[in-house]
């Protein structure tokens, strides 16, 4: 007799499918021939979802989670209340409560409905702040998360959810995977409104700026980060789900840049010469953060390949075109995107 997992082989659930990474993941999994159900509190903003079925559900409600996971083999749990540094530093209580409810409900529903494999998308925000004070930071290794000192709010609830996911694997035999994402960017993501991440925010500011003018940069611009192109991210998520590894694993790049360097890359792609106006009163997060991909290479014999400049060559034209429709984009019109294609 076939198990429930065997019966539903090839049927996948992506939560957070109305969001940036979730939407790209649905497209990627569909390109692999899988049947995909998408679930989110909203539908994708910039284009229709190609999901075979899309449920608009609030996953803070347990019954909605059970309905969402019914009849699938694999669950990609990407649903979360989140945004850029400005958003997550202003909403500690509500963000933490929402995400704890979503993750606890999704794990219990997956256990009760006999899901085979469950991937939880965590964040590099779980890493201790005391390891991220210097601009020339070493890549963060998975074992560095303990002793704990994650980012307030978002980082703490992510670390708790990682542990809860692990416990469901140990106690109930759920095939769990925990992925720590590092600063994912690309087209079809938020670029205004407060939930956008640094690459999208910089692209928007550059696109709206007149030649020779100044754009606002939060902090002094010397804080450092690495950024992962969304096409690499969804490819990596799929590979990790297919692996036998159950321990937390980084998914990012090791290409460390300052925010000033990020601005210069975008200006170069835009063909603009702009000045920087620094605002050190704005939220900045940790001083530095980079991924150590040693485990990723060992487990998958793979890691993200897209250079930041190449990914921005796809991201900036998309954001410029969106702003052009509202009349806020300033010339020159960017050249056709030359970066890596988005998986379909």
In the prediction, which pLDDT does 5 show? 52
Q: What is the pLDDT of residue 276?
A: 98
Task: Give the pLDDT of residue 33.
Answer: 97
Catalytic residue list = 154
**Gap between the Cα atoms of 206 and 215, Å rounded:** 7
Give just the sign of the alpha carbon dihedral 62, 68, 74, 75: negative
In sequence order, the β-bridge partners of residue 229 are 185
pLDDT of residue 339: 44
**Contacts for 307 with CB less than 8 Å, ≥ 6 apart:** 255
Which residue, among 141, 120, 303, has the nearest Cα to 228 in the 3D structure?
A: 303
> Phi/psi of residue 114, each to 5°?
75, 30
Q: Which two tokens stand for residue 230?
A: 């969304």
Pairing of strands 35-40, 11-15: parallel
Q: Phi and psi at residue 13, in whole multiples of 5°?
A: -110, 130
Looking at the whole model, is its pTM more than 0.75?
A: yes
The per-residue pLDDT for 1 is: 38
Would you state the structure tokens that stand for residue 130, as one six-digit string? 């005391």
Neighbours of 30 (CB within 10 A): 19
> What's the DSSP call for residue 219?
B
Domains and CATH numbers, the chain: 9-184+229-251 (3.40.50.720), 186-226+255-289+307-325 (3.90.25.10)
Nearest in space to 32 (alpha carbons), one of 6, 50, 46:
50
Query: Which has more confidence, 3 or 222?
Result: 222
Look at residue 301 and tell me whether its pLDDT is greater than 90.
Answer: yes
CA angle, residues 263, 265, 271, in degrees to nearest 5: 100
Q: Which of 313, 307, 303, 327 is nearest to 187 (CA)?
A: 313
Q: How many percent of the chain have pLDDT more than 70?
A: 95
How confident is the prediction for the chain on average, in pLDDT? 94
Taking the C-alpha atoms of residue 145 and residue 266, their distance in angstroms, rounded to an integer, is 32
> CA distances (Å), 39 to each of 62, 271, 322, in order?
14, 39, 25
**Rounded Cα–Cα distance for residues 255 and 224 (Å):** 10
pLDDT exceeds cutoff 90 at 284: no
Q: CA nearest 208: which of 46, 316, 87?
A: 316
């Amino acid at each position: 007799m076939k198990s429930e997992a065997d019966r539903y082989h090839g049927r996948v659930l992506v939560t957070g499918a109305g969001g940036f990474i979730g939407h790209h993941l649905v497209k990627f999994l569909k390109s692999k021939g899988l049947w995909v159900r998408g679930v989110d509190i909203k539908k994708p903003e910039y284009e229709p979802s190609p999901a075979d079925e899309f449920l608009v559900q609030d996953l803070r409600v347990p019954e909605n989670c059970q309905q969402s996971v019914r009849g699938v083999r694999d669950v990609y749990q990407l649903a979360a209340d989140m945004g850029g540094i400005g958003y997550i530093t202003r909403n500690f209580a509500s963000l933490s409560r929402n995400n704890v409810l979503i993750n606890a409900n999704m794990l219990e529903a997956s256990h009760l409905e006999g899901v085979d494999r469950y991937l939880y998308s965590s964040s590099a925000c779980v890493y201790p702040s005391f390891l991220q004070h210097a601009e020339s930071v070493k890549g963060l290794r998975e074992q560095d998360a303990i002793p704990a000192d994650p980012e307030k709010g978002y980082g703490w609830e992510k670390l708790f959810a990682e542990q809860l996911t692990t416990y469901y694997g140990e106690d109930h035999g759920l095939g769990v995977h925990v992925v720590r994402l590092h600063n994912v960017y690309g087209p079809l993501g938020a670029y205004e409104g407060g939930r956008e991440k640094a690459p999208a925010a910089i692209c928007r500011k550059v696109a709206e700026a007149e030649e020779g003018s100044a754009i606002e940069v939060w902090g002094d611009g010397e804080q450092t980060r690495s950024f992962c192109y969304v096409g690499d991210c969804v490819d990596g998520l799929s590979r990790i789900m297919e692996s036998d590894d159950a321990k937390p694993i980084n998914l990012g790049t090791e290409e460390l840049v300052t925010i000033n360097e990020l601005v210069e890359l975008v200006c170069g792609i835009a063909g603009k010469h702009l000045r920087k106006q620094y605002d050190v009163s704005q939220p900045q997060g940790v001083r530095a953060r980079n991924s150590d991909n040693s485990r990723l290479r060992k487990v998958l014999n793979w890691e993200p390949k897209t250079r930041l400049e190449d990914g921005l060559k796809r991201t900036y034209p998309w954001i410029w075109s969106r702003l052009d429709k509202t009349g806020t984009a300033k010339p020159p019109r960017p050249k056709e995107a030359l970066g890596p294609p988005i998986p379909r």
